[in-house]
Structure 1
């Protein structure tokens, strides 16, 4: 499976901080039912075995829904579980090294905050870019702010899909209209919701409207 712009429309990034009475699999399936177009598993605390078991479970679930499954940062886990792709940040493994490790058939996503970083990521084999934080976010406290002007410059500079991330919600998503992004990546706006499926349905509709306005 390769990455296209449609996979960026509603990109859900997991966060077990919002687990309560549900399992992560149950939350992710709700998101998929509501129209999530890509799932990224982000785990910072789990041991390797638990991480792999979770990744295999979610990978099979995403496959059933024909939606790309991406693992954040951990190339070893991504390869072991048969994920569709891997996403790395500027402070993780270098994109060019990741591409050499995973080969040509897996999706490679790279975080970028500047035009220079975006162009370098594209040269090194990135299939899409995650750009942010486009709004203030409590999910990733060390995230650098990216202005909407810079976001637009990045979108115009590269030929690969761009997904905006960071503090995006139903209330502010339409402010990204005209930037050129292919969609939005969300964490708490999805997984902190009391009704993930319907929240995703609303967010997917708003994202489609926003992207159409971009065009």
Structure 2
């Protein structure tokens, strides 16, 4: 668990195999890290555990050179076996309270919420950060309920001191407004994964974040 709820991360890359357009995952992530990504989540919904684990170990080895933590999306077995920095789950995944029981060594536990009422739940309180997903509707995530938009970020920010991660169609064009609305960290998928130059794309978003913190 993060000590004193510290969450120093500002630009959070969430991987998406389809968005890579056939390019190498490790190359893309390393370029993004060079551009300013300081937290990476490996999201692999279609891989079996062994293949997922192998990819996670390869990614973790590379990220360790840059001191960037690896978060595993919704797979406690893989997260534990690769000794990831943490795990991210949603309402339909294993709940944070159960993650804490099964994996006492979890360092960073993220939780996506779909409604403002979930902020008072045991699961939200147990997590280290709250993800608002999606801030803006996106084709990379279709099983969602609420499109939070900027007003939603402001309302949640006024309600909780938890670190807030905003995800969903985030790019350099809206990064400033999302930060100004109250997000502590921006999670990006396509704007980096699909970019011709992932390093440049990450650097541009990171610059917008730093200017408006």
TM-score by length of 1: 0.90
| Contact 2:179–2:185 (CA under 8 A) maintained in structure 1 | no
Aligned residues: 209
- Quote the Cα distance in structure 2 between the aligned partners of 1:60 and 1:44: 21
Residue 100 of structure 2 corresponds to which residue in structure 1?
A: 99
Q: Is 1:143 aligned to residue 144 of structure 2?
A: yes
Residue 134 of structure 2 corresponds to which residue in structure 1?
A: 133
- Quote the Cα distance in structure 1 between the aligned partners of 2:19 and 2:158: 35
Q: Is 1:11 aligned to residue 38 of structure 2?
A: no
Aligned-residue CA RMSD in angstroms?
Answer: 1.7
Residue 29 of structure 1 corresponds to which residue in structure 2?
A: 30
Which structure 1 segments of 5+ residues have no match? Answer: none
Cα distance change, pair 81–177 in 1 and its aligned pair in 2 (3 A): closer
Deviation at 1:178, TM superposition (A): 3.1
Which structure 2 segments of 5+ residues have no match? Answer: none
Find 1:189's aligned residue among 188, 191, 195. 191
After superposition, residues 55-204 of structure 1 pair within 5 angstroms as: 55-103=56-104, 105-120=106-121, 121-123=123-125, 125-144=126-145, 145-204=147-206
Which stretch of the first structure deviates more once superposed, 85-94 or 132-141? 132-141
TM-score by length of 2: 0.91
Cα deviation code 1:31-83 (max 9, x no counterpart): 11111010000001112111100001111222221112100000110000010
